[in-house]
Every structure is written in structure tokens, then in C-alpha cells.
């Protein structure tokens, strides 16, 4: 799985999830239960992960929806 988005913005997460569901792209919302540990302060970001095979399609989907600036760099681009 590859990281697509990492954010504290729950509206952004909800929007991205909606786009992925509508496009039929499987994803995993990671770290959503960390709020129990952190005390619901919203300090720890949540991550949306997608299969490596669907990463390019998911990135294009987010870019076309106007939230391309929120995308994480591809793993091979991070060094």
C-alpha cells in the first residue's frame, strides 16, 4: 500500500474517501483510532493508503478534484 494523503483535516479525508469510493478504488484509512490515544486533539494526522497498482489513478482523481496539493510524494520520489 502507498500513502496517498496525510492530514488532520477530517473534511478533506471525507472528501477523498468519497471520491475513492465512487471511483471503485480500494483504500485504507490508517491512524483513525489514534484519536483515542491522543485524546481527540487532532494532533496526529490520518493517512489514506491505496494499493500501488491504483496509486496513479487515485492521484489523478485527487488532482482532477482540485486537491492535488494535498498528495504525498510518491515513495520513489521521497528518496
Topology of domain 2-72, CATH: Alpha-Beta Plaits (3.30.70)
For the stretch 13-36, pLDDT in tens is 999 999 999 999 999 999 877 655
Higher pLDDT, 45 or 60: 60
Q: Hey, where are the domains in the chain?
A: 2-72
For 72, left (φ over 0), alpha (ψ -120 to 50), or beta? beta
Higher pLDDT, 58 or 45: 58
Degrees, nearest 5: CA angle 15-21-23: 105
Q: Please tell me whether residue 27 adopts helix, strand or coil conformation.
A: strand
CB neighbours of residue 38 within 10 Å: 11
Q: What is the pTM of this model?
A: 0.84
CB–CB of 22/72 below 8 Å?
Answer: no
Band (74; pLDDT cuts 50, 70, 90)? confident
Amino acid at each position: 500500500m502507498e500513502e496517498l494523503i496525510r492530514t488532520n483535516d477530517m473534511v478533506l479525508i471525507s472528501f477523498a474517501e468519497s471520491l475513492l469510493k465512487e471511483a471503485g478504488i480500494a483504500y485504507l484509512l490508517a491512524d483513525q483510532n489514534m484519536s483515542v490515544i491522543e485524546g481527540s486533539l487532532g494532533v496526529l494526522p490520518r493517512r489514506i493508503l491505496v494499493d500501488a497498482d491504483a496509486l496513479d489513478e487515485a492521484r489523478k482523481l485527487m488532482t482532477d478534484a482540485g486537491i492535488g496539493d494535498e498528495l504525498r510524494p510518491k515513495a520513489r520520489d521521497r528518496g
